[in-house]
């Protein structure tokens, strides 16, 4: 079935016209509901008749109240006395903790006069306390798939007595990967023919309908305005901005719009933390809902936002499903969602229950690629606005805490460090060559003792080089290094350099090398080979004809009469060698000229 309600967000169906028990009707009146919404008007008659339903409608149209009215009607018509350890008669599966808490609050309001025992289980809070509540017994059990399976496997509860089964936000269960746990829960419940099943979702995709055909009993498919995914009263605006200018533009938008309650959606919790720190530095009071925040703190932040204590709330997609918060005037997509369906649920936090709202999206270079899929899903182009320069505000950097000035007591002067030598004053190495005349001697007038003092920081090294001259015939100098004796180093001023007056011997002139003729690359060399007379013990007496005979007989060769050694090129054993053999060889490169020997004078 497909319904297209009139322009008003409410239908012409009154709750008083529906066949509801008195306790359920009183709870509806206590909540202030008089007329049903389109999804309620389309599903409640079918649900009250006992048929299964797979319904799709926009966010914020009252799907939660629709299945809760149906559940409380069945509980009120067949009451059961409260006993310890009762198994739940109604089961509601929700994808997120926040949605489970929201369903619990709505159930307590609508079922105030029915007085059912309601237990909600989810992660992040006291595990033992929830287990004790389940063991005490309940009528309506609400929870997330993982925690429900955990308690069922421990024996704290069971699904064998479930009469009404509700799967809320079925598409989100697929997105979060809970489909395997959901199928396990459905298999542990009574068969579809013996229970009343309901499936509600913002979008009815093929996989959602496959789940409905598998676990629902001939469900009726109901769609409310499927051609329009988003609400009518939401004004959608898009700004194209760079990543480095996003924070500056966001500050300008918040200052310009000044909404009473604004929700900011981001894709990552790390960016959510950075966004909260930046806005707090600019004087905004803000909270954050991310996955790593403890559940008790998340509930407190959410309650403060509902009460108006927190005007701004930063959240990831964990808070974009099923949360009904009155008075949300603006929704800002600081990051465009990568999943197009998340965009529908984000902007669905505003313009709920017939109110109007504004959805602002910032498209940067990182997440603009999902814009085409979003526009294809909602069936329209988002209005693009170009921000003015006055809309960009300055972003203050993180403030550094002032370090208090602490007066420190004066430090006593340290005594000077004694130096080993005055050479420390100069950091560079200084070499001084001192020539000291050792002793005048007549026979060796040229013996000198040369002292080399190397002055370095903290190190004084003395090296004595004794240089002796050779006779005039051999002008080569011989330098010997003598190991100095261990003695106290003398100061630099104690040694006075003395110039030696002995004339230095002049070295003998080196004669020029004798030029050699350039060798030819190819020449003939006549080599005369003169055989040495063999000694008596090395002479071999071998008969050549005998060798030729046995060689010819052994190998069957046809040898010449003269023998195998009678050729002109190979000599025969015992025959004299030729007087001369001419050889030809090719020289590679020329000969290296030999250095001329020095002339001795």
- Please provide the DSSP assignment of 459-498 as one string: EEEEEEEEEEPPPTT----EEEEEPPP--PPPPTTT----
Q: What dotted CATH number matches 2-224?
A: 3.40.50.300
pLDDT at 341: 81
Establish how many alpha carbons lie within 13 A of residue 246's alpha carbon, considering only the half-sphere containing its beta carbon.
Answer: 25
The label of the residue with tokens 């709202």 reads 357
CA-wise closest residue to 18 among 43, 53, 51: 43
Q: In whole angstroms, how large is the CA radius of gyration of the chain?
A: 54
pLDDT at 436: 47
Homologous superfamily of the 234-391 domain (CATH): P-loop containing nucleotide triphosphate hydrolases (3.40.50.300)
pLDDT at 176: 80
CA-wise closest residue to 89 among 100, 81, 99: 81
CA-wise closest residue to 110 among 29, 22, 169, 11: 29
Phi, psi of 320 (to 5 degrees): -95, 0
CA-wise closest residue to 197 among 176, 174, 219, 169: 219
Judge whether 2-224 and 234-391 match in fold.
Answer: yes
pLDDT at 327: 82
Domain ranges of the chain: 2-224, 234-391, 424-437+445-481, 523-586
CA distance 322 to 488: 94
**Hey, how many other C-beta atoms are within 10 angstroms of the C-beta on 25?**
18
pTM value?
0.60
Do 247 and 264 contact (CB within 8 A), yes or no? no
**Hey, how many other C-beta atoms are within 10 angstroms of the C-beta on 434?**
16
CA distance 409 to 534: 108
Q: pLDDT averaged over consecutive 10-residue blocks of the chain (601 residues)? A: 55 92 94 92 94 86 91 93 90 91 93 94 89 94 95 93 93 85 94 94 84 91 73 87 93 84 91 92 90 83 88 82 77 92 85 81 93 91 92 78 60 62 50 48 46 47 47 47 53 49 60 58 46 46 53 61 51 48 50 52 44
Tally the residues of the chain: 601
CA-wise closest residue to 451 among 467, 473, 470: 467
pLDDT at 317: 80
């Amino acid at each position: 079935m497909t319904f297209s309600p009139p322009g008003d967000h409410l239908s012409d169906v009154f709750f008083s016209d529906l066949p509801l028990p008195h306790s359920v009707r009183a709870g509806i009146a206590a909540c202030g509901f008089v007329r049903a919404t389109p999804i309620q008007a389309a599903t409640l008659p079918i649900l009250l008749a006992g048929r299964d339903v797979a319904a799709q409608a926009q966010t914020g149209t009252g799907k939660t109240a629709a299945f809760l009215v149906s559940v409380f009607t069945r509980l009120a018509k067949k009451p059961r006395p409260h006993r310890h350890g009762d198994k739940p008669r109604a089961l509601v599966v929700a994808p997120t903790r926040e949605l489970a808490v929201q369903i619990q609050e709505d159930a307590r309001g609508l079922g105030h006069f029915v007085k059912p025992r309601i237990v909600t289980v989810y992660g992040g809070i006291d595990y033992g306390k929830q287990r004790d509540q389940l063991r005490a017994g309940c009528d309506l059990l609400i929870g997330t798939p993982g925690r429900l399976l955990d308690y069922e496997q421990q024996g704290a509860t069971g699904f064998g007595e479930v009469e009404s089964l509700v799967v809320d936000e079925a598409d989100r269960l697929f997105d979060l990967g809970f489909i395997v746990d959901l199928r396990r829960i459905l298999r542990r419940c009574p068969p579809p023919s013996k229970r009343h099943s309901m499936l509600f979702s913002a979008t009815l995709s093929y996989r959602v309908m496959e789940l409905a055909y598998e676990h629902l009993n001939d469900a009726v498919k109901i769609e409310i305005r499927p051609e329009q995914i988003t609400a009518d009263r939401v004004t959608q605006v898009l700004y194209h901005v760079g990543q480095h200018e996003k924070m500056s533009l966001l500050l300008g938008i918040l200052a310009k719009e000044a909404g009473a309650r604004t929700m900011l959606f981001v894709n990552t919790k790390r960016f959510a933390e950075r966004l909260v720190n930046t806005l707090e530095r600019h004087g905004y009071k803000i909270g954050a809902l991310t996955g790593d925040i403890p559940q008790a703190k998340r509930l407190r932040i959410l309650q403060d936002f509902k009460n108006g204590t927190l005007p701004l709330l930063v959240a990831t997609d964990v808070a974009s499903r099923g949360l009904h918060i009155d008075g949300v005037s603006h929704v800002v997509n600081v990051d465009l969602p990568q999943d197009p369906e998340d965009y529908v649920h984000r902007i669905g936090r505003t313009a709920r229950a017939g109110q109007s709202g504004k959805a602002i999206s910032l498209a940067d270079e990182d997440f603009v690629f999902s814009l085409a899929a979003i526009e294809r899903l909602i069936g329209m182009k988002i209005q693009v606005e170009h921000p003015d320069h006055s809309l960009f505000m300055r972003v203050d950097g993180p403030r550094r805490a002032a370090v208090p000035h602490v007066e420190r007591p004066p430090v006593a002067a340290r005594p000077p460090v004694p130096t080993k030598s005055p050479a420390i004053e100069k950091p560079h190495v200084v070499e001084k060559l001192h020539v000291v005349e050792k002793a005048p001697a007549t026979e060796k007038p040229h013996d000198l003792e040369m002292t080399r003092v190397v002055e370095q920081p903290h190190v004084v090294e003395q090296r004595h080089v004794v240089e002796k001259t050779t006779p005039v015939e051999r002008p080569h100098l011989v330098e010997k290094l003598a190991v100095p004796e261990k003695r106290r180093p003398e100061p630099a001023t104690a040694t006075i350099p003395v110039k030696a007056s002995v004339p230095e011997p002049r070295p003998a002139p080196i004669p020029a090398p004798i030029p050699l003729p350039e060798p030819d690359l190819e020449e003939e060399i006549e080599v005369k080979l003169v055989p040495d007379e063999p000694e008596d013990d090395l002479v071999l007496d071998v008969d050549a004809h005998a060798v030729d005979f046995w060689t010819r007989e052994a190998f069957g060769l046809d040898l010449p009469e003269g023998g195998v050694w009678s050729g002109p090129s190979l000599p025969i054993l015992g025959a004299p060698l030729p007087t001369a053999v001419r050889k030809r060889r090719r020289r590679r490169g020329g000969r290296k000229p030999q250095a001329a020997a020095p002339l001795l004078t």
